[in-house]
């Protein structure tokens, strides 16, 4: 499915892609993300994974079957999406941008200097925020990624469960509009219905 612009063009030849996938179940998430990361490793990209620890372990197990690993290295950074999500909304403001600016953006910039390929990022911090009802923080974090994507070349995949947006069609429309590509699982009737409706309505 289409979303917003397919790619984000920034200064100095920066070209990024910002993709969202709404997953039906845990197995689908693990398989899709594992394939996304395997492709990145095969083209020698630097990689940032921001996932819940249980998904990180499952993805690492799947990659291990392909003789690949999430063992930390200079070109691979793995962070806890749940811990970062909670840090982002810990203060009085609904979103603490300093957490992104001080913890996430520097890691991406460092990775960008280690490969000629765009930095590959899988992130589900937004999904943790959506699960916990912090929808304003979701939009603020997506905006941060969008801004970073105009300064550094990224291939960014955001993973969500569409069930977190039941009863929040405008928020779902805004998420879809923030991405160049929008994907759902073929078996996910709820996700296809929710996302299809979101893509037919304005984000505001």
Does any domain span residue 165?
yes
Predicted local distance difference test score (pLDDT) of residue 10: 53
The CA dihedral of 130, 131, 133, 137, to the nearest 10 degrees, is -30
Does any domain span residue 204?
no
Range of the domain at 42: 7-199
- Model-level pTM? 0.90
Predicted local distance difference test score (pLDDT) of residue 188: 76
Predicted local distance difference test score (pLDDT) of residue 11: 56
Does any domain span residue 1?
no
Predicted local distance difference test score (pLDDT) of residue 203: 47
Counting as low any pLDDT under 50, the low residues of the chain are 2-6, 203-204
Domain count, the chain: 1
Predicted local distance difference test score (pLDDT) of residue 13: 78
Predicted local distance difference test score (pLDDT) of residue 1: 53
The residue behind tokens 């996700």 is: 191
Does any domain span residue 177?
yes
CATH number at residue 102: 3.40.50.300
**Distance (Å, rounded) from C-alpha 21 to C-alpha 28?**
10
The CA dihedral of 140, 144, 147, 153, to the nearest 10 degrees, is -140
Predicted local distance difference test score (pLDDT) of residue 92: 62
């Amino acid at each position: 499915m289409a979303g917003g612009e397919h790619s984000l063009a920034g200064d100095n030849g920066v070209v990024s892609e910002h993709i969202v996938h709404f997953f039906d179940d845990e197995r689908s998430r693990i398989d899709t993300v594992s394939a996304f990361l395997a492709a990145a490793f095969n083209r020698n990209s630097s990689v940032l994974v921001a996932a819940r620890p249980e998904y990180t372990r499952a993805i690492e197990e799947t990659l291990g079957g392909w003789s690949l690993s999430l063992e930390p290295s200079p070109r691979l950074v793995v962070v806890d999406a749940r811990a970062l999500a909670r840090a982002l909304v810990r203060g009085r403001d609904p979103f603490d941008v300093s957490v992104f600016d001080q913890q996430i953006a520097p890691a991406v910039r460092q990775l960008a200097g280690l490969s000629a390929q765009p930095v590959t990022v899988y992130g589900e911090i937004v999904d943790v925020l959506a699960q916990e009802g912090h929808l304003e923080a979701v939009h603020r974090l997506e905006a941060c990624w969008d801004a970073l994507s105009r300064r550094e070349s990224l291939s960014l995949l955001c993973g969500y469960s569409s069930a977190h947006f039941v009863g929040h069609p405008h928020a779902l429309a805004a998420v879809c509009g923030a991405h160049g590509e929008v994907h759902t699982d073929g078996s996910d009737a709820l996700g296809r219905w929710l996302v299809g409706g979101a893509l037919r309505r304005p984000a505001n």
